[in-house]
Amino acid sequence: MTASPREFLESLFRSTIAAAQPRLCVPPNLPPAPRGRLIVVGAGKASAAMAQAAEQHYAGHARLEGLIVTRDGHGVPCTRIEIVEAAHPVPDLRAPQAAERMLALAASAGPDDLVLALMSGGGSALLALPQAPVTLDEFRALTTALLRSGANITEMNAVRKHLSRIAGGRLTEAAAPAPIVTLAISDVPGDDPSTIGSGPTVPDPTRLADARGVLTKYAITPAASIAARLADPGNETPKPGNPAFARARFVMAASPKQALAIAIERAGAAGYAVHSLGDAVEGEARDVGRAQAVLARRIAAREFSVKPPCVVISGGETTVTVRGQGRGGRNAEFLLALAIALDGDADIHALAGDTDGIDGVESSAGAYIAPDSLQRLRAAGLDPVARLDDNDAWGAFSRIDDLVVTGPTLTNVNDFRAILIT
């Protein structure tokens, strides 16, 4: 039986998720067990599943312990590594409580011990531990403002690292001189280790001036305590060359590029030409949607080097500047803008989703569009342009049953977008 366009696109999306499952990508990259204690720490949406894979791998090591903080609903059973859940993307009190304990655990490591840090996307909020006198409420307000501003993940983390007691390399400072190995699943364009979870174990190349520049760029006025911390030269994060990193090592277990390669291979094997835009696409979600609509229509009209049947695949992380009151998500917003720009082209279908299973703060991973999506939205009494203006792409797609729901995937290799031109 031939798969429908939606079934085919969903199969590509799920193949990307499957390629980055911790049970597959973590064990081959784990270091040898130490002579002393093996202390497992970490944070992120995939971190609990990573911890479970590590615990099974080191089952014979007598001195294994640890603490992991993951997003609500992303915990998995572990026996010797404690799993704590907390709020994301805006942190709650559980985040600083866990981060404080994690710092103490890392600081207890001796020269014969090994600190194994398991990091994945989402760690910035899950390890929120603001420096005094910055309060958690002030940090939460800043996080919300950054999320609504359209700032990209690198910009957001440049600010958060300079307000944290654990991010930006400070976890490694706490563990030194004990050795520390970081195993990461990347969810950031370019796979920058210092951006994944705000880089608690690696040197920070950004500076206080960069953090202040982000707030100026997006016209965000922070609390006085935050402004004071960002103005204090003594509050700079540890940089490359700092001796605290002499026994630190970083290993990438999975990345968006590796995961997208699986989808590209699957699409090619199904007989489609594939045009990849890479794994680091950034920009306003609606602008990226409009730009990719132009490309898709050129391919459909046979005005491009790649001819139909074709799949255009891309990864990366777009942003949304929130101006409306609706319910969105960057992948849903990308698709609504794409659908409006395509205006019902009969040859084009598309799917976009976040590989962690959560598009923004919604329970859906993303959505799907077909040539009749705009027609069905209007038949449901919705104006697609008005829904986009109100940042209500989730609300629009939920009305016509075009949301893609996976539940928590327990991994996170950024966004997946595929446009099928038949």
Q: Angle CA(369)–CA(410)–CA(29) in degrees, nearest 5? A: 120
pLDDT of residue 361: 82
pLDDT less than 50: residues of the chain: 1
Please give the full DSSP string across 15-64, using - where no structure is assigned.
HHHHHT-HHHHSGGGPPPPPSS-EEEEEESTTHHHHHHHHHHHTTT-SSE
* Conformation bin of residue 410: beta by default, left when phi > 0, alpha when psi is -120 to 50: left
pLDDT of residue 363: 87
pLDDT tens, position by position, 66-101? 999 999 999 999 999 999 999 999 999 999 999 999
How far, CA to CA in Å, does 212 sit from each of 132, 148, 174, 348?
18, 17, 26, 43
pLDDT of residue 346: 85
* pTM as predicted: 0.94
Yes or no: say if 371 and 336 are a contact pair by the CB < 8 Å rule: no
Q: Which domains does the chain have, with CATH numbers?
A: 5-16+257-421 (3.40.1480.10), 31-254 (3.40.50.10180)
pLDDT of residue 360: 83
Q: What is the 3-state secondary structure (H, E, C) of 230-275?
A: HHCHHHCCCCCCCHHHCCEEEEEEECHHHHHHHHHHHHHHCCCEEE
| Cα 61 from Cα 77, distance rounded (Å) | 18
pLDDT of residue 377: 98
pLDDT of residue 250: 98
Nearest to 417 by CA among 318, 283, 320, 345: 318
pLDDT of residue 362: 85
pLDDT of residue 11: 98
Q: Classify 417 as helix, strand or coil.
A: strand
